[in-house]
Structure 1
Amino acid sequence: MRQIIIFLLVNLNLLKLYAAEPQFDDSLSATSTGKVSTVIGGVESASEGVISSTQIESQGQVRPADVLEFIPGVVVTQHSGDGKANQYFLRGFNLDHGTDFLTRIEGMPVNLPSNAHGQGYMDLNFLIPEVIGQIDYRKGPYYSDTGDFSSAGSSNIFYKNKLDTNFGLATVGSNNYKRLLSAGSMVVNETGNLMGALEVLRNDGPWENPEGVKKLNGLLKYSDHIGGDKISLLAMGYRNSWNSTDQVPLGAISSGIVNRHGAIDPSDGGTTSRYSLSGLWRRDLDDGYAEVSLYYLRYQLQLFSNFTYYLNDPINGDQFSQTDNRNTYGGQAQRVWLGNLAGLAMSNTLGYQLRQDRIQVGLNNTKQQQVLSNVREDSVVQTSNSLFAENDIEWQPWFHSKIGGRYDQYAFNVGSNISQNSGTSNSGIFSPKATLTLGPFYKTNFYLNYGQGFHSNDARGTVIKVDPSNTVVPLNPVPGLVKTTGYEFGIRSLAIKNLETSLALWQLNIGSELVFAGDAGITEPNRPSQRKGIEWSNHYTPLSWFALDGNFTYTKARYIDGDPLGYFVPGSVGLTGSIMADFRKGPWSGGVQWRYIGPSPLIENGSVYSSSASVFNGRVKYEVTPKVYLTLDVFNLFNQQANDISYYYQSRAAPKLPASSDIAIHPAESRSYRATLTYNF
C-alpha cells in the first residue's frame, strides 16, 4: 500500500480522471452541503460530490434515471420495459433495481423495502431532468445520516426552487417517441417561489413488441425564506403503463426463435403510480440550526414478467404477476450545534429518522396477464426508528476529524394468506463511522474513511417458515439486517491548473449478499463477500467554453467463505469507464458521452462471463433566438450491438424444447434520434 501511495503522489500530474464535484477554492473549502465553514461540514471523502444542472443539460438522457450516470462509476441500464425501475451498477455491485444504493428526493427516500419485485426497488422514471437543480452523491457507509440501502452509495436529488425562464418543449424521435414538457416558476408573496412542471410521454422503443409507454408526470414546489426560517413543500404525481420486452436466451436468438429485439412472451408489462407530498423546515440559530422534514408516499405497482418462459409450465408458460400497494410515512429531525472546544472549532449533530411502510403485496401465476393461481398474499407493516449523532473537530487548520454513528431498530409484521408465513420479528444494529481529513497541502486534501452500515432483508423473509409454492417444504427465516463494513483512502486535488481530480482506494465487506427471488416470493440467504477497488476521476476545463470529464473504476468482488461452488460474485462488473465532453460557444452547445461497462462473471466458478458494452451518445443544441432552441440527441451513435445486461440461468424458450442453461441478454437500444424544440416565455 505504501508503494502505491508514493507512486500516486509522485505521478499526480498524470492523474487525468474526474469526480463530478463542486467547484472549490484553493483552500478546498467549498462543500456539497452549502455550509460556510472551511473544514467543519465540508467534503468528507474523495468519492463524494455534486452534479450541477449545467452538467445535466449538456448531455441527453435515454431514460430519466440516466442522470445518475454523472456520478463517477455508476452505470444505468434496463432489462425490461421503461416503466420498470432501472438496473444499476456501482462498485462491483449489480445493484438490481436499487439494493445498496440509496436515492432521496430532497430528503424523501425513493427505495422501497419489501417491494413486490425486489428489495430496495428504486424507480426513478418520475424524474424530470430539466428542472433538477443539483444531485449530491456519496459512496460508502461512512455517513451517519444515511442507513439502509446506502452501503455502496447514495444520492440526494434537489429540484430547482425557481427557473431562469419559463419554458415549454416538444420532442419527437425514433420509435414513435413523443414528449411534451412545460415548466415555469413565479414569485409568491414577495419572498416565496412556486415552481411547477408537467410532462406527457409516449414511446414504443426499438422492440418488435412495441412498448406503448404512456407516462403522465408532474410536480409542484413551493419554497420560501422568512427571517431565519426556510421552508419548502414538494408535491409529485406520476403514473405509467407499458409493455415489456424482457431478456431472452442467446440460444433462442441464434436458432431463430426470437430476434435480438423480440419477446418470447409479448404479454409482459405493467402499470405503476406514485404520489407524494414532502416538506422541509429549517431554522438558523445563533449556535447552529434545527431542521425537520416530513413525507408521505402513495405507491402502486402491477408487474407481469416471464424470465423462464416455459420451464415450469410447458402448457401455460411461466408468467407471474407481482402487485405492490403501499402507503409510506416518515421524516427526520436534526439539530446541529456549532461552537468551540478549548479554542478548537467544533460541530455536533444529533438526529432522528422514522419510517413506516404499510404494504399489501401479492404474487400470482398468470397467463397473458390472467390469474391462474395465487402463490402468496401478504399484509406487511415495516417500521424503522433511527438515531444518529456525530462530532466534528478542527484540530489544526490542516487536520480535522469526524466521529459518529447511528443505531437502527426495525420491526417487521407480516400477515400472510399462508398462516405459517405470518409473524413478527425485530432487528437492531449499531453502525460506527469515522473520517480523518488532512490538508490542504499544495491544494490537495487526503482522506481516511471508515464506516459500518447495513442492508435490510424483505420483511417476508424474516418470518418465513414454508415455501409458498410448496408448503410442505420448510424454509428458514433470514436476518432482518445484514452488516457491511467499509474502508477508504482518498485524494482530492487542484494542484494542476484547470484540473479537478480525485482518487479513491476502497474496500467493502458484506455479511451476506442480498438475494430476493421475487418470482418465488422468498428471500434466499447468500454468502459473505468482499469488494475492493480503485476510482480515478477528473474534470478538466482547458478553455472557458469547453470541459472534459473522465471516470475510470476497477473493482474486484469475491465471496470469502471458501465454498467449492466458486468465489466469483455473479454480475460484479470489474471495469467501468466514461468520458464526457461538453461545449458552450456562441449559439451552439452540446456534448458527447462515451460509456464503457466491462465483462462480469455470471456464475460463481467464473466459467461464464458477460460481454463488455461500449456506447456513444451525442447532443447538439442551437439557439435560434433568445427564446427558441433546437436540440438534436443521437443515442448509441455508432449503433453498437451492446447488451444492457446479461444473466445465466436455466429456461425453456418454447414448450417442446428441452430445458437448458444459457446466457439471457437484454440488448441496449439501437441507434435512435430525438429532436426537441424549446420555447422560453
Structure 2
Amino acid sequence: MISKTIVALAAVLPLAGHAETIENVDKVEVRGHYDNGVGTSGAASQGAVTAELIANRPALRPGELLEFVPGVIVTQHSGDGKANQYFLRGFNLDHGTDFATFVDGMPINMRTHAHGQGYTDLNFLIPELVDRINYKKGPYYADEGDFASAGAARMTLANKLADTTASVTLGENRYLRSVLTGSTPLAAGNLVYGAELGHNDGPWQVPEAFHKSLGVLRYAQGASDDQFSVTGMFYKGAWRASSQIPLRAVQAGELDPFGTIDASDAGRTSRYSLSAAMRKRSSDTLLQANAYLVQSSLTLFNDFTYFLDDPVNGDQARQTEKRRMGGFDVGQTWFSHWGGLDVSNKLGVQGRYDYLSPLSLTATRNQQPLRSISESTVKEGSLAAYLENTVQWQEWLRTIAGLRYDRYRFDVSSNIAENSGKVSAGTTSPKISVVLGPWAKTEFFVNYGEGFHSNDARGTTVHLTPKELEPIDPVTPLVKTRGAEIGARTEFLPGLQSSLAVWKLRSQSELVFSGDAGDTSASRGSYRSGIEWNNHYIASAWLLFDLDLAYSRGHYTEHDEAGDYIPGAIGKVASFGATVMDLGPWSGAFQMRFFGPRPLIEDNSVRSASTAIAYARVGYKFNRRWSMQLDAFNLFDRKVSDIDYYYASRLPGEPADGVDDIHYHPAERRSFRVTLKAVF
C-alpha cells in the first residue's frame, strides 16, 4: 500500500501546480527551504536545509532534526532522555556510529562512551535556534573524519532572530514545553538567547517523567564574510526508561505493549559547553576556525535480558560516565589562478581531547549497586591534518581532491590490570570528486573517498572480558571504510530540485565495543550499496512538496555458517512531505515516513516488520503577535515498532539459557499537542 501511494505521489508531483503557477514559478525562491541547487555542492547527496522549513514541520523529539537529511530515520528504544537510534544507507547506526553530527563546529558524537560508540544526544538543542543543517553523505570530504563514513550533518545556530518569541505547548500524557527565544543588539553585534523547560510522561504504564531544562546564550557579530560568535549552552535531564520489551510476553497477554519488565530502569544526564567560531574572508583568502569545551555526565540503568545472567537479582546494570572534552578546527583557504584556471587550496588542522573519569559498568538491582563489572579512566586524544584542492578546469569540469591524516592515542587505566594500556594508531584517507556540467541546468558527479570510525578506547587495550574474565583480543583502533558514488542533480523543471545517487561503501570491520555488555563484539567486514532519489518541489510561494526514496543492501564480506546478512541493516526508506506556508492566516504540514523490514539475525530467518508513521500540523495566525498550531503524531494511529531486536532473554520460570525472541519498542500511539505562540 505504501509503495503504491509513493509511486502515485511521484507521478502527481510535477502536475501539482496550476498552469498559471508554473509560469510564475521561476520567481519562487527554492532555496528558501533547501539549498540543494545546481552548483552548490560536490556530490549529488550533499545539501542544506534552512530554518524556514525546520520551523514549519512538527517533530516528536529534538533528534528528529536529523530526519531533514534525506534517507535518515530517527527512532527511540529506551527513554526519550537517551540519544536516539539512527538509520541511514543500510546502517543501523545505533546511537550515532558512522554518522558525524556537529553543532556550531562542536562534535556531538561521544567516543568511548559508557553506552555506545559515537553516542549522539541532541536533547540539548532548541530547534527554534537552529538556522541551517548542512549535510553530506559518504566519506568523500577532507574536512570530515571520525564517524562520517555514512554521512555527516553540521547544524549552525542563528546569529540574529527577527523577533522575540514565547510559546507554550500542551499535549496528552502530561506533555508540557515552554520556550523563550530572542535576540537583542549588543555593542557591534547581537545577543541571542533561548531557554526551555519540558516534561513528558509518554504513553507508558510506568510514566516516563522525562523532565529537562536547557538554555543558550550566544553573542555574534559581523556579516557572512567577517563574523565571530561565542556560545554557552547548558542542559539537564532525567527520566524513567521505557525500554524494549519481549514480544512473547505481549502475545501471551502477560505484558501490555506499553508496559515494562524492570520499572526501575532510568537515566539522568547533563551537558555544559562553551564554544567560539569565526569566519574571515578577504579577496583571496578565507579563514574559518572554531574551538570548544564540553563537560557532560550520564548515568543509565538498563535491563535488556531480565534474568538471563543473574536469575536472582536480574540483569540490570548501571552505566556511568563523566567527561571533559576540548578541541579545535582551523581551516585556511587560498583562492588563486593557475594558468587562467580558478583554483582554491585549503589546509586544515583539527584536534580533540577527551578525559573520562569515572567510566564504569556496575551490576545493580532496583538501581542499588551489587558489584562492579569494570571501571576505567580514559584519556583519548586525536590530531588531524588535511589538504583539499579544487580546480575549475572548464566551465563544465571541476575537480575536488583531498588527503587527510588522523592520529589517535588511547590511554586506559582499568580496575582490571590486564585491560590497562596505551595504544596509538593512525590512518590516511584520500578523497576525490569530479563535477561535470551543468548542461540544461543539470550536473553530474563522480565521488570516491576513504574514511574510518574509531573504536572504544577500552576495546583497544582489553585482554579479559570484564564479566567472565575470559581471554579476548583487542579490537582494531581505527576501522577503515571505502566508498564511491555516482550521481546527478537537476533543476531542469522550474521549481523542482531533484537528485539521484548510486553509492557503495565497504567497511573493514563491524567491530564495536558493547557498552551494555562491557566487552568487545567482533564481527566481519561488510559491503553496502544503494540508490537514493530526492525531490524538493515548490508548486507556489505557499506550497512545498518533498519526496525522498532510498533503497540499500548490505552483507558481510566474509562467509560464515551463521549467515551473511547484517542484523538491523535498513533496506527501504521513503518519506513524503507537504508544507503550506502563509496561506492567508493558515499554515500546515504533512509528513509520512516509511522504513521497511530488516534482517534481525545473520541468516535472515527473523525479520522486523515495516513501519509507516505520519505527522500533521495545522497553524493559524490570529494577528502579527499571536498564533496557534495543532500537531498530530502517528496521525493514523498505526500499531508499529520504533525498533526491533532479536536476542535471548529470560523471564521468571523460563529455561536457564533463555528464549530467543524479538524485543521491540512500540511507536507512540496517536497524540496531539497544541502550541500557543506570542511574538514581541
TM-score range (shorter-chain normalised) is over 0.9
Aligned match for 2:573, one of 557, 572, 576: 576
For residue 607 of structure 1, what is the aligned residue in structure 2?
Answer: 605
* Distance in 2 of aligned mates of 1:429 and 1:494: 39
| C-alpha spacing 1:326/1:646, structure 2 compared with 1 (3 Å) | same
Contact 1:32 1:43 in 2 (8 A): no
The range that moved more, 87-96 or 656-665, is 656-665
For residue 240 of structure 1, what is the aligned residue in structure 2?
Answer: 237
The range that moved more, 632-641 or 286-295, is 286-295
For residue 516 of structure 1, what is the aligned residue in structure 2?
Answer: 513
| C-alpha spacing 1:34/1:675, structure 2 compared with 1 (3 Å) | closer
Query: Do residues 663 (structure 1) and 662 (structure 2) align?
Result: yes
1:522 deviates by: 1.3
C-alpha deviations, 1:235-282, integer Å up to 9, x for none? 110000000110011101111221110000010010000000000122
* Distance in 1 of aligned mates of 2:654 and 2:538: 60
Query: Do residues 554 (structure 1) and 551 (structure 2) align?
Result: yes
Q: Secondary structure at the match of 2:249?
A: helix
Contact 1:492 1:501 in 2 (8 A): yes
Q: Secondary structure at the match of 1:381?
A: strand
C-alpha deviations, 1:363-397, integer Å up to 9, x for none? 00000111000000000000000001110000000
Aligned match for 1:280, one of 269, 277, 282: 277
For residue 259 of structure 1, what is the aligned residue in structure 2?
Answer: 256
For residue 271 of structure 1, what is the aligned residue in structure 2?
Answer: 268
Query: Do residues 198 (structure 1) and 228 (structure 2) align?
Result: no
The range that moved more, 399-408 or 217-226, is 217-226
| C-alpha spacing 1:313/1:201, structure 2 compared with 1 (3 Å) | same
* Distance in 1 of aligned mates of 2:608 and 2:664: 9
C-alpha deviations, 1:12-46, integer Å up to 9, x for none? 999979xxxxxx999x999999999x96xx40100
Contact 2:411 2:457 in 1 (8 A): yes
Aligned match for 2:629, one of 631, 636, 652: 631
For residue 676 of structure 2, what is the aligned residue in structure 1?
Answer: 677
For residue 313 of structure 2, what is the aligned residue in structure 1?
Answer: 316
For residue 586 of structure 2, what is the aligned residue in structure 1?
Answer: 588
For residue 87 of structure 1, what is the aligned residue in structure 2?
Answer: 85
1:156 deviates by: 0.5
Q: 1:286-325 alignment to 2 at 5 Å?
A: 286-325=283-322
For residue 354 of structure 1, what is the aligned residue in structure 2?
Answer: 351
* Distance in 2 of aligned mates of 1:574 and 1:282: 40
* Distance in 1 of aligned mates of 2:97 and 2:533: 24
Contact 2:34 2:50 in 1 (8 A): no
The range that moved more, 651-660 or 405-414, is 651-660
* Distance in 2 of aligned mates of 1:15 and 1:467: 56
1:290 deviates by: 1.6
For residue 18 of structure 2, what is the aligned residue in structure 1?
Answer: none
Contact 2:112 2:457 in 1 (8 A): yes
For residue 9 of structure 1, what is the aligned residue in structure 2?
Answer: none
Which residue type is aligned with residue 608 of structure 1? V
C-alpha deviations, 1:461-520, integer Å up to 9, x for none? 00111111122x111001100100000001000011221100000000000013322122
Q: Secondary structure at the match of 1:466?
A: coil
For residue 4 of structure 1, what is the aligned residue in structure 2?
Answer: none
C-alpha deviations, 1:153-192, integer Å up to 9, x for none? 0000111111111010011101110111111100111x30
Which residue type is aligned with residue 651 of structure 1? S
For residue 6 of structure 1, what is the aligned residue in structure 2?
Answer: none
For residue 370 of structure 2, what is the aligned residue in structure 1?
Answer: 372
Contact 2:117 2:456 in 1 (8 A): yes
For residue 69 of structure 1, what is the aligned residue in structure 2?
Answer: 67
For residue 107 of structure 2, what is the aligned residue in structure 1?
Answer: 109
Which residue type is aligned with residue 345 of structure 2? N
Q: So what's the TM-score if we normalise by structure 1?
A: 0.94
Which residue type is aligned with residue 210 of structure 2? V
| C-alpha spacing 1:367/1:227, structure 2 compared with 1 (3 Å) | closer
Q: Secondary structure at the match of 1:400?
A: strand
Query: Do residues 331 (structure 1) and 332 (structure 2) align?
Result: no
1:289 deviates by: 1.5
For residue 138 of structure 1, what is the aligned residue in structure 2?
Answer: 136
Q: Secondary structure at the match of 2:101?
A: strand
Aligned match for 2:478, one of 481, 497, 509: 481
Query: Do residues 383 (structure 1) and 384 (structure 2) align?
Result: no
* Distance in 2 of aligned mates of 1:139 and 1:422: 36
Which residue type is aligned with residue 494 of structure 2? K
| C-alpha spacing 1:14/1:150, structure 2 compared with 1 (3 Å) | farther
* Distance in 2 of aligned mates of 1:631 and 1:228: 37
Contact 1:591 1:620 in 2 (8 A): yes
| Percent of aligned positions that are identical | 45
* Distance in 2 of aligned mates of 1:280 and 1:616: 38
| C-alpha spacing 1:296/1:91, structure 2 compared with 1 (3 Å) | same
Q: Secondary structure at the match of 1:513?
A: coil
Which residue type is aligned with residue 489 of structure 1? I
Contact 1:310 1:655 in 2 (8 A): no
For residue 179 of structure 2, what is the aligned residue in structure 1?
Answer: 181
Aligned match for 2:488, one of 491, 495, 502: 491
Q: Secondary structure at the match of 1:251?
A: helix
For residue 127 of structure 1, what is the aligned residue in structure 2?
Answer: 125
Structure 2 residues without counterparts, runs of 5 or longer: 1-9, 16-24
For residue 440 of structure 1, what is the aligned residue in structure 2?
Answer: 438
C-alpha deviations, 1:45-67, integer Å up to 9, x for none? 00011111111122111000111
| C-alpha spacing 1:62/1:228, structure 2 compared with 1 (3 Å) | closer
Which stretches of structure 1, 4 residues or more, deviate above 2 A after TM superposition? Answer: 12-17, 28-36, 226-229, 653-658
1:206 deviates by: 0.4
| CA-atom RMSD in angstroms | 2.2
Q: Secondary structure at the match of 1:67?
A: helix
Contact 1:466 1:474 in 2 (8 A): yes
Which residue type is aligned with residue 514 of structure 2? A
The range that moved more, 655-664 or 143-152, is 655-664
For residue 424 of structure 1, what is the aligned residue in structure 2?
Answer: 422
Q: So what's the TM-score if we normalise by structure 2?
A: 0.94
1:287 deviates by: 1.6
| C-alpha spacing 1:279/1:216, structure 2 compared with 1 (3 Å) | same
Q: Secondary structure at the match of 1:474?
A: coil
Q: Secondary structure at the match of 2:601?
A: coil
* Distance in 2 of aligned mates of 1:661 and 1:457: 28
Aligned match for 2:454, one of 450, 453, 456: 456
Q: Secondary structure at the match of 2:124?
A: coil
Which residue type is aligned with residue 661 of structure 1? D
* Distance in 1 of aligned mates of 2:599 and 2:11: 35
Q: Secondary structure at the match of 1:55?
A: helix
| C-alpha spacing 1:348/1:625, structure 2 compared with 1 (3 Å) | same
* Distance in 2 of aligned mates of 1:382 and 1:78: 28
Contact 2:90 2:554 in 1 (8 A): yes
Contact 1:457 1:523 in 2 (8 A): no
* Distance in 2 of aligned mates of 1:679 and 1:87: 34
Q: Secondary structure at the match of 2:438?
A: coil
| C-alpha spacing 1:228/1:619, structure 2 compared with 1 (3 Å) | closer
For residue 19 of structure 2, what is the aligned residue in structure 1?
Answer: none
For residue 20 of structure 1, what is the aligned residue in structure 2?
Answer: none
The number of residue pairs the alignment matches comes to 658
1:656 deviates by: 5.1
For residue 501 of structure 2, what is the aligned residue in structure 1?
Answer: 504
* Distance in 2 of aligned mates of 1:563 and 1:186: 62
| C-alpha spacing 1:199/1:13, structure 2 compared with 1 (3 Å) | closer
Structure 1 residues without counterparts, runs of 5 or longer: 1-11, 18-23
| C-alpha spacing 1:563/1:639, structure 2 compared with 1 (3 Å) | same
